[in-house]
Amino acid sequence: MTGRIVLAATPIGNPDDASARLKDALASSDLVAAEDTRRVRDLATRLGVRIGGTLVAHHDHNEAASAAELVVRARDGATVLVVSDAGMPAVSDPGFRVVEAAVRAGVDVTVLPGPSAALAALALSGLPTDRFCFEGFLPRKPGERTARLASLALEERTMVFFEAPHRLAATLGAMAESLGFDRPAAVSREITKTYEETRRGTLAELAGWAATEEPRGEIVVTVAGREGAAPTVEALVAEVLARVEAGERAKAAVADVAATAGVPSRELYAAVLAARG
């Protein structure tokens, strides 16, 4: 007899956003795997729900071993509920390894949809929503962050990022340097909470605001994609050089950038060699 893995979205701030299905699942699941067991206990209390099954920790530090155990329990017939601290498991939170292991083992996986900080911020941003991509957290090291942003310089879709408050000003400044000081963007914080706020402006304006105000709370940054105008050779060369500086091989970087921009890789490679002296 096979059970199943249930991925459940939890409120990102306001507990009233919890769905009836989430309440039922917390009460009826055989096993509840939580990123932070204290947080899910507190949520259940706020919702007036008693967690009916066994509560276990499933977080970044034990995810590999925990995922295997959760799948075994589901394969043996248990309904295993997976929740993160806020939002949807597996989206910048533990959960992906469980789904990956479940798929390999032929165990059923289902989802209880609900709140999403990324989608909420996208809707609030005032930027195009017809095409977008989720980039999660940028690398913490400046060189790696610059390389990642350089790889996004030609991205035409609206981009959604997560960021910690103490790194926000530096990240917005790096984005302005790599993507353009006049690039439209928005910063949303504390979505659905008492002090919810969304700031809109250019990356340069938002970087200045963040450096002065030092905003707190859960933060999502939304950045407009590149406009359709063809990039200059100088911009393509700069992107390649940034990626090379971060450790990527020049030929691989040239091939990727050229394919994305739709330009001959041989000509771009020659321009890169010339720029390097």
Give the residue-averaged pLDDT of 236-254.
Answer: 90
User: What number does CATH give the domain 118-223?
Assistant: 3.30.950.10
pLDDT in tens, 183-224: 999 999 999 999 999 999 999 999 999 999 989 999 999 999
Comparing 4-115 with 118-223, is the CATH topology the same?
no
Amino acid at 268: L
* Interatomic CA distance for residues 273 and 210, integer angstroms: 38
Alpha-carbon gap, residue 74 to 43, rounded angstroms: 24
Beta bridge partners, 277, equal none
Is the full-model pTM beyond 0.85? Answer: no
Q: Which long-range contacts (CB under 8 A, 24 or more apart) does 13-18 make?
A: 13/86, 13/190, 13/191, 13/192, 13/193, 13/196, 13/218, 14/192, 14/193, 15/43, 15/46, 15/47, 17/114, 17/115, 17/192, 18/43, 18/47, 18/114
Could you report the per-residue pLDDT of 70-120, keeping only the tens digit for each? 999 999 999 999 999 999 999 888 899 999 999 999 999 999 999 999 999
Domain 4-115 belongs in CATH node 3.60.10.10: no
Cα distances (angstroms) measured from residue 52 to each of 44, 78, 86, 126: 11, 13, 20, 42
Beta-carbon-side half-sphere exposure of residue 58 (alpha carbons within 13 Å): 30
Within 10 angstroms of residue 103's Cβ, the number of other Cβ atoms is: 13
For the chain, the domains span 4-115, 118-223, 233-275
